[in-house]
Amino acid sequence: MFLHITNARYLEDYKVAVSFDNGREGVADLADALKGPMFEPLRNKSEFPALIVDKELKTITWPSGADMAPEYISSSLPNLRGATNSGCIIYSRAL
């Protein structure tokens, strides 16, 4: 089963509130992912907030053409008591 992002909202710096199709939700800090020629331009704080959820790819994309795998974004979420990044529903909160 593939993991998909259903909703994403820019918060601040390089933090994004995300929801996945398996019910998992949280805040991903993507600062460490912004390396290399595709992602380096997103370090510009006027570029990073322009993220959208591409309805076809079902992940976060940017106008520059950059996108991130939902599995990577999920692994960037902090774990809560006894939770894992295995795709289970961990917690729910309003985005």
> Does a structural domain hold residue 93?
no
> What is the total count of domains within the chain?
1
The answer to whether 67 touches 61, Cβ cutoff 8 Å, is yes
pLDDT at 78: 83
Structure tokens at 94: 């309003």
Please give the chain's pLDDT, 95 residues, in tens: 799 999 999 999 999 999 999 999 999 999 999 999 999 999 999 999 999 999 999 999 999 999 999 999 999 898 643 344 444 333 334 44
pTM of the model: 0.78
* pLDDT score of 1: 76
CA distance 69 to 78: 17
Q: Is 92 a domain residue?
A: no
- 81 within domain boundaries: no
**Which parts of 31-90 fold into alpha helices (H)?**
70-75
Task: Kindly report the CATH number assigned to the domain that includes residue 60.
Answer: 3.30.2020.10
